[in-house]
Amino acid sequence: MAWCGVRRYPLFAWSVEDAVLTLGPARAIKVSRFGGKCVMEGFTCGWCSGFRKEKAWLKEADVNDEIVTKPFHVLVVFGDAPLRRTIKATLRQLGYQGVHAVENGVEALQWLDSGQKVDVIITSLHRTRLDGFELLERIRSQPNTKNLPVVLVAGKATEQLVAQAIETDADGYVLMPFTPADLERRIDELIERRTKPSLYQQLLSSGQATLETAPQESIMWFREAVHENPSNPIGHYWLGQALERAGLMDEAQKAYRTAVELNPLHVKSMDRLREFYRKSGRTDELYDILTRMYRARPDRRDVALELGPLALAKGDVERGIACFEFLVGSVRNRPKALGAVLARFYRFDVLRADVARLAMSVYLEAVEKDAEAAYLLAQILTACDHAAQARDGLVKLLRRSKEFEKPFVIKVHLLLAHIYDKVGIERLAKEHRETARSLQAS
């Protein structure tokens, strides 16, 4: 097996057999003689050394090999220009009728909105504008594209990747390095699945089509799907959805639990169980499912925001602090979002000093730029025994009281009254309470 180029993480891994399949016999001989490097029509992947030499050499190769045209259109979405060109050239060489390549998810959506035919999308995960998962969520949210096959290209198969792929309804993923034959096989499988669906897929589609309008009928279809393929968690998840809509909550929970047992990374089913456990006050089960979600998706802020305080309350300090640090790191430069995080953690002694320090670091900026965030931070500082600092910012806000709505000004006066009560200055506390009452009456 020869790898393309000299980078640490190559795109393609080639063998002579792959070359024969993809480039044809004449080119395959040239590839094997040249050391097995990846050579496309007109250029290499851009990573190989000797780029110009190989390009010039290829033009002299026998290019009369017959290519079987495939009547399918592929949209390639890659931020890295050399990779984008390489995959585009590979797909053309493989015979796909239409191949269009764009740099980011925004351009991909524009191409889809233009009405151009697309049979499958190949997208990288990491880009500056709309990453692979964000693009996939947008595609799945639109009626005209929700069933479009999407393949994610990733460097390695982490638990997080698998969980996100399931959560966003990706049709699959390809890991680098991969052969052109791997890519072709994956695309053709997905297209065939859409054009010639299995009985299982047909049953799922029938259930999804009736889910909102006729949930009882939908339950029937999904039960048939589960009977057809009992080891696939997707059928159990959709059965849970239908049972919920029919008001059969206990059975729905059972279906979601089965989905999670079959695939411990099925976060969509965990999300539904999380909602059930929260509403019914089943704290132990909620903690367990949140912990499993956090392992699968450590990047989800909503999970960390709920799990962190619960972990600290249960004495799991290490996990609670890990959630806190992740959340703070993700919102550090946004006072309002940071305040929302700190408000969930300030009551825990182990973090109170850190919470106060972080609140102080953005408080004065918030006083100048975001009054609501400043009010929230003032509440946190007061609770963390930094009432004096909170008071100074609130007084500054009152000097600009004409800029704010009356209910907000009343809140500020009442918080100041609370602060003065706390430090034992009863006269000022009374003045602010009376001012608040006067504003409420006016």
Residues 35-57 pLDDT 10s: 344 433 333 343 333 333 333 32
Whether pLDDT at 177 is above 70 = yes
CA atoms of 35 and 322, how far apart (whole Å): 49
CA atoms of 108 and 127, how far apart (whole Å): 12
DSSP 231: T
Q: What is the pLDDT of residue 169?
A: 64
Q: What is the pLDDT of residue 131?
A: 67
CA atoms of 25 and 206, how far apart (whole Å): 46
Answer for the pair 225, 203: CB distance below 8 angstroms, yes or no.
yes
Answer for the pair 272, 167: CB distance below 8 angstroms, yes or no.
no
Termini Cα distance of the chain: 82
CA atoms of 234 and 35, how far apart (whole Å): 45
Q: What is the pLDDT of residue 315?
A: 95
Q: Could you tell me the CA-to-CA distances from 308 to 261, 291, 360, 364 in Å, in that order?
A: 24, 10, 22, 27
Q: Say whether domain 197-261 belongs to CATH 1.10.443.10.
A: no
Burial call 266-301: b when 16+ CB within 10 Å, e when fewer: bbbbbbbbbebbeeeeeeebbbebbbbbbebbeebe
Chain segment 336-373, per-residue pLDDT in tens? 999 999 999 999 999 999 999 999 999 999 999 999 99
CA atoms of 422 and 269, how far apart (whole Å): 47
Query: Which of the two residues, 61 and 430, has the higher pLDDT score?
Result: 430
Q: What is the pLDDT of residue 81?
A: 86
Q: What is the pLDDT of residue 60?
A: 34
Number of C-beta neighbours around residue 315 at 10 A: 7
Residue 290's pLDDT band (boundaries 50, 70, 90)?
very high
Domain at 264-331, CATH class: mainly alpha
CA atoms of 409 and 400, how far apart (whole Å): 10
Query: Kind and range of the H or E element at 437?
Result: helix 426-441
Lowest mean pLDDT among 145-159, 182-196, 228-242, 392-406: 145-159
Closest listed residue to residue 4, CA positions, set 79, 83, 95, 76: 83
Residue 178's pLDDT band (boundaries 50, 70, 90)?
confident
| Domain layout of the chain by residue ranges | 1-65, 67-196, 197-261, 264-331, 353-442
* CATH architecture observed for domain 67-196: 3-Layer(aba) Sandwich (3.40)
Domain 67-196 identical in fold to domain 197-261: no
Amino acid at 330: S
